[in-house]
Amino acid sequence: MKFCSDCGAPVEERIPADDNRLRHVCAGCGVVHYVNPKAVVGCLVEHEDGLLLCRRAIEPKPGLWTVPAGYLEVDESAASGAVRETLEEACARVEVVAPYAHFDLPHIGQHYVLFRARMLTPDYGVGPESSEVRVFGLDELPWDEFAFPVMNVALELYREDRRTSRPRVHHGVLRWSGIGSRYDRRNYELEGHMGLFVDERD
């Protein structure tokens, strides 16, 4: 941020009084522009015993696969945002079945909220941000071609849950080692993982 969105004056980086972090502070009106983590919301769409995945057509990481997901908008709930992203990226109308995972990614100021979802009709297609959309069986997931390591982590846990037929909801911090590519799963650990079993009889 270079200029104040309130008054247009230049913004400087400094630690305000009674604070302990560098902030964007307006040199004109003095307002502090806080930068806080963003929420990314998405769906694990369960279909024909597999998952619906999108091959990205846009930066970052075009050509690689992801579950339908994107930034949460103001005025949306996390679940409705995840449903919207699925419609936009995979042209699929879905309903949320259950919460699935919450992952913090502190090194990039994001947190992911993922849901399990099912298709309301068996139709899907290629949205403008995708180049291909298809259902992958759990034994053929493209592990080496996921756009973001958070997808590897989410789907590793999902595959394990399906293998044991014991669904869980997950929480954890996806901690980057600080060395090597931020796009390489091997440079991450899932810290403080909690996987709570879900009773689906309700």
* Interface residue list for Zn ion (CB under 5 A): 4, 6-7, 9, 26, 28-29
Question: 3-class SS at 39?
Answer: strand
**Closer to Zn ion by Cβ: residue 29 or 120:** 29
Tokens of 168: 């869980």
Positive or negative torsion for Cα 119, 124, 127, 131: positive
CA dihedral of residues 108, 113, 116, 120 (deg, nearest 10)? -100
Tokens of 124: 């899907």
**Closer to Zn ion by Cβ: residue 31 or 57:** 31
**Closer to Zn ion by Cβ: residue 4 or 45:** 4
Q: How far is the CB of 146 from Zn ion (least distance, A)?
A: 41
Q: How far is the CB of 16 from Zn ion (least distance, A)?
A: 14
**Closer to Zn ion by Cβ: residue 12 or 184:** 12
Identity (one letter) of the amino acid at 83? V
Tokens of 158: 């999902």
Tokens of 200: 């689906």
Q: How far is the CB of 13 from Zn ion (least distance, A)?
A: 14
Distance CA 198, CA 159 (A): 15
Q: How far is the CB of 32 from Zn ion (least distance, A)?
A: 10
